[in-house]
Amino acid sequence: MTADPLAAPATGTIDARFARQASVLGDAIAVTGIDGRLTYRELDRSANRLAHHLRSLGVGPEVPVAVCMERTTALVTALLAVLKAGGAYVPLDPASPDERIAFTLADAGATVLVTDRDGRGLPAAHTVVTGPGGTDLSGHPDTAPEDAGTGPASLAYVIYTSGSTGTPKGVMIEHRNVTGLLTGTQGHFGFGPDDVWSMFASAAFDVSVWEMWGALLHGGRLVVVPEETRRSPQEFHALLHREGVTVLNQTPAAFRQLVRYEEEQQPGAGPAALDALRLVVFAGEALPPEMLRPWIARHGEVRPELVNMYGITETTVHSTYRRMTSADLDAGAGSMIGGAFEGWTMQVAAADGTPAADGEAGELFVGGAGVARGYLGRPSLTAERFLPDPDAAEPGARRYRSGDSARRGADGDHEYLGRLDHQVKVRGYRIELGEIENALTRHPDVRDCVVTVDEDSVGEPRLVAYWVSAGAELADGTGELREHLGRTLPAYMLPNVFVPLERLPLTLNGKVDRRALPAPEAVRPDLGGDFEAAGTPVEKALAEIWADVLSVDRVGLDDDFFDLGGHSMLATQVVARSKEQFGVAVTLRIFFDLPTVRELAAALEELLAAQSTTNPHGENA
């Protein structure tokens, strides 16, 4: 007998909707992991026993309970148990530093900690250790606790996100936010008992909410991906095949590594086919359509469907969706996120707060069913980011000020342009880093990239592009990438430095870890062609000046100053130092017209010769 995923009321609590599925599905497998598997009945009973114990410790409505556990079926049991007890779970990643975990425990006011270790000495009044040798739960009944008095508006979980001030902040999500998400997406994707979902995200990352409860509240099976498997594209690909995963959720950065693994296999010896996969959902960061080209070439675009979703923790995981097809690859657009799910609203506001016209970039405001209660213990920040929704029919409705830049097309689709706090100012120009990244990934030999800002030798901000090759060796390295970008971007948006990497570093949540990007080395970039060293005294002196100003180890005779990362401010430095050393100076106009050591040295030698002719004794004219 199968469960009807829509039979449960859309306004119930998460645990009540799961209990309904468990009562119908019973012996069907609910969750698998490295520690085994649990049927719906087994998961329900195990969670009930733990819930009774949590009740005995004072857990009830609005009470936060920290959960710090490895990626196993026991983790899912613990999270469900907290909800059954009436509490709100606060997921902690065990890989996080103890200091961050301690901060979260204190900030959340969590006096109960559920863990699969010995508590690690963390400051919780009550530590419940699960698993063999842990807290004895045998004396508790395996039936559900009495009604704790929770309802749709009760707190379900608190997930911590990084704050602009460096202090993490807890986002409070209610049961109705999660059930609204599942109701809003169900009509588009038809989830049910035949689906197998992978839990790739950390429980401390909001996509896990979609993965876990999307599987279990629709009667499907959840596969908890072990940590080591997450880190290996080969092992993860094998798991997807072995478990018959049908619904895959990935950040674009993590998915690129999966695509790369498939591409690197020898013909005839490639990975097993992912025949069961029917839906791939992208979320967590911008999706450049071009990155889907090799996947579509191998798998097509019908099955699995490729869907880009936009959302943020404060609006409950996902708010929009956009089915991606091969037509998007050549459209030249950035990360298309589509339109809102039923129950959500998307509003793009201009700088003055008025609605932006179609095609005009502005800040994205998200309203509707997913809007969180606010930030835990931060009323002023909540008031700043969660604002009254002037367009909503419901009294008291709010919308969230996302801090994201977007624009709405005439067809109602939205294009994500990046974070407003990733909008930088370089030499007087406002630049959206996401726009450069989108353009760079459209180069056929660039698999992945991220653009950041650091300082050059004179303390000026410079753009640094980190890029991963698609496999083919670029004939002209940096020069070719600059030429590619120069076709669509103004000169002030061209990166000054291009740093090739084997792969981009990722955080535990599968996003690009910008803090782990290496500092650009002081080496000459690969400009293609043969390197020819400076020969004459003027050429050698000029090459040394360039190398010092540009922070590179050597400069070739025919190297273009701007291909080496130069810009107008650094050009001014070269002109000044050349005058100091040679006693004559070229103008900036000449410098821009003659941007190689060979050309500039020739111009300097002409000036020196002219000076010698007019003033043979070296006296000032």
Give DSSP secondary structure letters for 479-542. HHHHHHHHTTS-GGGS-SEEEEESS--B-TTSSB-GGGSPPPPSS----SS------SHHHHHH
Q: Which amino acid is at 496?
A: N
CB of 224 closer than 8 Å to CB of 75: yes
Average pLDDT over residues 16-29: 96
**d(C-alpha 186, C-alpha 293), whole Å:** 28
**d(C-alpha 332, C-alpha 334), whole Å:** 7
Highest mean pLDDT among 45-49, 159-163, 290-294, 566-570: 45-49
Q: Which has the closest alpha carbon to 290: 442, 165, 407, 144?
A: 442
Check whether residue 470 and residue 572 sit in a common domain. no
In terms of residue numbers, what domain contains 509? 427-516
Residue 109 included in any domain: yes
Check whether residue 435 and residue 543 sit in a common domain. no
Highest mean pLDDT among 28-37, 424-433, 493-502: 28-37
522 pLDDT tier (thresholds 50, 70, 90): low
pLDDT at 261 over 70: yes
Angle, helix 73-84 to helix 207-216, in steps of 10 degrees:
80
Per-residue pLDDT of 79-137, as tens digits, reads 999 999 999 999 998 888 777 888 899 999 999 999 998 766 777 888 888 877 788 99
pLDDT at 4 over 70: no
Residue that is last in its domain, among 115, 141, 175: 175
User: What's residue 257's pLDDT?
Assistant: 80
Q: Which has the closest alpha carbon to 256: 229, 290, 226?
A: 290
Check whether residue 125 and residue 11 sit in a common domain. yes
DSSP tally for the chain: helices H, then strands E: 17, 26
CB of 219 closer than 8 Å to CB of 1: no
How many residues in the chain? 621
- Greater confidence (308 vs 294) lies with 308
471: exposed, middle or buried (C-beta count within 10 Å: 0-12, 13-18, 19+)?
Answer: exposed
Per-residue DSSP letter, 289: G
Residue that is last in its domain, among 175, 196, 229: 175
Residue 312 included in any domain: no
**d(C-alpha 487, C-alpha 501), whole Å:** 24
Q: Which has the closest alpha carbon to 568: 425, 428, 424?
A: 428
Average pLDDT over residues 60-73: 96
pLDDT at 268 over 80: no
Tokens 């630049």 sit on residue: 431
Check whether residue 433 and residue 562 sit in a common domain. no
Query: What is the radius of gyration, based on Cα positions, of the chain?
Result: 29
Check whether residue 126 and residue 48 sit in a common domain. yes
Average pLDDT over residues 541-554: 78
Name every residue whose Cβ is closer than 8 Å to that of residue 294 and which is 6 or more positions away in sequence: 259, 262, 263, 470
Q: Which of 271-280, 403-412, 423-432, 495-504 has the lowest mean pLDDT?
A: 423-432
Structural tokens at position 306? 């490729």
Half-sphere exposure of 391 (CA within 13 A, CB side): 14
CB of 87 closer than 8 Å to CB of 65: yes
Per-residue pLDDT of 580-589, as tens digits, reads 777 777 776 6
Check whether residue 457 and residue 603 sit in a common domain. no
- CATH number, position 457: 3.30.300.30
Check whether residue 607 and residue 467 sit in a common domain. no
End-to-end, the C-alpha distance of the chain in Å comes to 101
pLDDT at 11 over 60: no
- Greater confidence (51 vs 427) lies with 51
**d(C-alpha 64, C-alpha 90), whole Å:** 6
Residue that is last in its domain, among 175, 204, 225: 175
Check whether residue 477 and residue 561 sit in a common domain. no
pLDDT at 306 over 60: yes
CB of 498 closer than 8 Å to CB of 525: yes
User: What's residue 40's pLDDT?
Assistant: 98
Name every residue whose Cβ is closer than 8 Å to that of residue 317 and which is 6 or more positions away in sequence: 181, 206, 207, 209, 210, 283, 311, 370
- What pTM, to 2 d.p., does this model score? 0.73
Tokens 């998007």 sit on residue: 328
pLDDT at 478 over 80: no
Q: Which amino acid is at 15?
A: D
Check whether residue 505 and residue 445 sit in a common domain. yes
Average pLDDT over residues 239-265: 88
**d(C-alpha 484, C-alpha 498), whole Å:** 13
CB of 73 closer than 8 Å to CB of 35: yes
Residue 98 included in any domain: yes
**d(C-alpha 63, C-alpha 47), whole Å:** 17
Q: Which has the closest alpha carbon to 41: 77, 66, 68, 12?
A: 77
- Greater confidence (163 vs 531) lies with 531
Check whether residue 496 and residue 595 sit in a common domain. no
**Is beta strand 36-39 parallel, antiparallel or unpaired with respect to 29-33?**
antiparallel
**d(C-alpha 16, C-alpha 217), whole Å:** 9
Per-residue pLDDT of 153-170, as tens digits, reads 999 999 998 654 446 899
Average pLDDT over residues 32-59: 97
CB of 503 closer than 8 Å to CB of 468: yes
Q: Which amino acid is at 596?
A: T
Residue 62 included in any domain: yes
Angle, helix 14-25 to helix 40-56, in steps of 10 degrees:
140
pLDDT averaged over every residue in the chain: 85
Residue 233 included in any domain: no
Residue 56 included in any domain: yes
**d(C-alpha 318, C-alpha 185), whole Å:** 9
pLDDT at 10 over 70: no
What is the total count of domains within the chain? Answer: 3
Check whether residue 68 and residue 148 sit in a common domain. yes
228 pLDDT tier (thresholds 50, 70, 90): confident
- CATH number, position 560: 1.10.1200.10
Highest mean pLDDT among 215-224, 408-417, 425-434, 586-595: 215-224
Check whether residue 477 and residue 562 sit in a common domain. no
Residue 73 included in any domain: yes
619 pLDDT tier (thresholds 50, 70, 90): very low
Highest mean pLDDT among 209-223, 257-271, 333-347, 474-488: 209-223
422 pLDDT tier (thresholds 50, 70, 90): low
Half-sphere exposure of 197 (CA within 13 A, CB side): 25
pLDDT at 337 over 90: yes
pLDDT at 484 over 90: no
**d(C-alpha 55, C-alpha 74), whole Å:** 18
Q: What percentage of the chain has pLDDT greater than the value 70?
A: 87
Angle, helix 433-440 to helix 477-486, in steps of 10 degrees:
110
User: What's residue 30's pLDDT?
Assistant: 98
Half-sphere exposure of 613 (CA within 13 A, CB side): 6
Q: Which amino acid is at 113?
A: L
Q: Which has the closest alpha carbon to 456: 302, 558, 562?
A: 562
**d(C-alpha 513, C-alpha 492), whole Å:** 25
206 pLDDT tier (thresholds 50, 70, 90): very high
Name every residue whose Cβ is closer than 8 Å to that of residue 56 and which is 6 or more positions away in sequence: none
Q: What percentage of the chain has pLDDT greater than the value 90?
A: 45
Structural tokens at position 304? 């699995």
456 pLDDT tier (thresholds 50, 70, 90): low
Q: Which of 63-72, 294-303, 430-439, 455-464 has the lowest mean pLDDT?
A: 455-464
**Is beta strand 335-340 parallel, antiparallel or unpaired with respect to 155-161?**
unpaired
User: What's residue 614's pLDDT?
Assistant: 64
Structural tokens at position 245? 């995963």
Residue 250 included in any domain: no
Per-residue pLDDT of 174-200, as tens digits, reads 999 999 999 999 989 999 999 999 999
- CATH number, position 42: 3.40.50.980
CB of 456 closer than 8 Å to CB of 570: yes
User: What's residue 567's pLDDT?
Assistant: 66
Residue 468, SS3 per DSSP: strand
